[in-house]
Amino acid sequence: MTSLRTTCAALTVVLLAGAGPAAAAPVESPEEWTQYRLTPEKNPVIETDGSVVPAEGGFELPDEVRASPVVVGDRLYVGTHGSGTLHAFDLGTGEQLWQAQAPNWIHSEMLVSEGTVYVGYGDRGQERGDGLRGDGPGGVLALDAETGEQQWQYAVDGHVMPTPVLHDGRIHAATGDRHLHVIDAATGEGLERVDVGAVMSMSAPAAADGMLYTGAFDGGPKVVGYDMDARETAWTTEFPEAGSGLDDVPPAVSEGIVVTTSHRDIVPAEQLEHWAHALDAETGEVLWEHRLGEGPFVPNNKSGAPTIADGTVYVGSPTTGTVYALDLRTGEERWTHSSGPVKAAPVVADGHVVYTTTQGEIGALEAGTGALAGSRQLSEEPLAPAGPIVVDGVVLAPGQDGTVHTLALDELTGDAGEDPAAGAGDPGAEGADGEEAAAGGASGTGPLGGGTLGPAVAAVVAVGLLGALAVLLVRRRRSAAR
């Protein structure tokens, strides 16, 4: 007969499994936006006084959107890819308040602080004989946040596709010219050019505790830690086995740990392995590495950008078509979910992991189990390689269809739609942006995640165990009475 102690232990395990981790704390009414995806963890969940609800119809733009939208106060700021237009919208009505023009593509988010908008511009370009990246104009613009009027322009021989970091009155721009440029935020004057020795393609730096972290590749795959207060490079960690990707991935930082991803070649330009890496934020020491899986070659934005929430790393893969939950401290895999190709960093809100795919789908998973809570086909075009944000329970998802889509999170999680992986198509299928829409490649767990019980199942089992516990107690009392 099962003992009372065993039954209690089993009940505790089931209840804990069903509960999942605590929800990530939102940022309350941010007055500024100073780095890629707002926080070092790359989890932009915003909570306001509720007086402004994001426009239900979304925000329409004249060209592709590849950057996350930025929300400060009652305004939304975002730029476009091919056209290089810059826009400010009324968050509640969707009305455009102003439009400005950058000299080239916009992949950078529009940083906002003290009445000024800062944004990087530039194009990926072709291989240059001098080893730099970016054919057209590249640099950083400063605009008046109220009117869009240009305040200053700082030019770079290469691109500034990654979102810069604003720290202590200085803009830090990772670039295609192998340097980290430090710029006076008030005047646009160049203060320093830090030689990284490799191109930073789209690895938007993460900033935490006065340190900046970015990935670089051409010139040697590496992650760089730069002390913004001391104005010196603190450490450089090389990844000689990485074949690509480090320069595409914006790192995430939490609890003194930097997380990023890279690819290793199995068959060059045909088959890749996707790996996650964790480094000590102070020293650059590699703490763990985890092989996510393998799949078809991904030609652009090899991303798989991580988000960290409540001691867990959440990351999708365009290579394997899977979303992963990894333990931040150990890299141990907690669950996986077959999602279709995911390049963008997810957002974690209200106990759910919201991800977007290169096939226009959005999905929500239970953070503790990986169980699918709901999914939607938002667009026939890819959703942006920069991920969604959440404002007062509303998901804002940028798309290459020229729209920042809005969708209530509870509507998504209550959706009974099909698992997006079911429509993922064959590995190597072409997306609308000419990039491979990889799917499969890693054994996903299906709707119930990594074998862990979802809340509904956990509740049923818990009721049964409570019943068994009650029977055992009654029997014990009867035995004692005898």
Decide which of 207 and 466 is more confident. Answer: 207
Tell me the pTM: 0.85
CA distance 373 to 424: 18
Question: pLDDT tens for residues 173-213?
Answer: 999 999 999 999 999 999 999 999 999 999 999 999 999 99
Please state, as a whole number, how many other Cβ atoms lie within 10 Å of the Cβ of residue 3.
9
Do 177 and 152 touch, CB atoms closer than 8 A?
no
Phi, then psi, of 324 in degrees rounded to 5: -120, 145
Residue 301: pLDDT band with limits 50, 70, 90: confident
pLDDT at res. 23: 53
Q: Give me the mean pLDDT over the 419-446 stretch.
A: 40
Decide which of 300 and 26 is more confident. Answer: 26
Of all residues in the chain, the percent with pLDDT exceeding 70 is 81
Decide which of 437 and 86 is more confident. Answer: 86
Residue 254: pLDDT band with limits 50, 70, 90: very high
* pLDDT of 231 above 80: yes
What does each C-alpha distance from 50 to 118, 158, 350, 390 come to in angstroms? 27, 42, 16, 13
Q: Give me the mean pLDDT over the 47-76 stretch.
A: 96
Question: pLDDT tens for residues 2-61?
Answer: 343 334 443 333 333 444 444 568 999 999 999 999 999 999 999 999 999 999 999 999
CA distance 133 to 44: 29
Question: pLDDT tens for residues 311-326?
Answer: 999 999 999 999 999 9
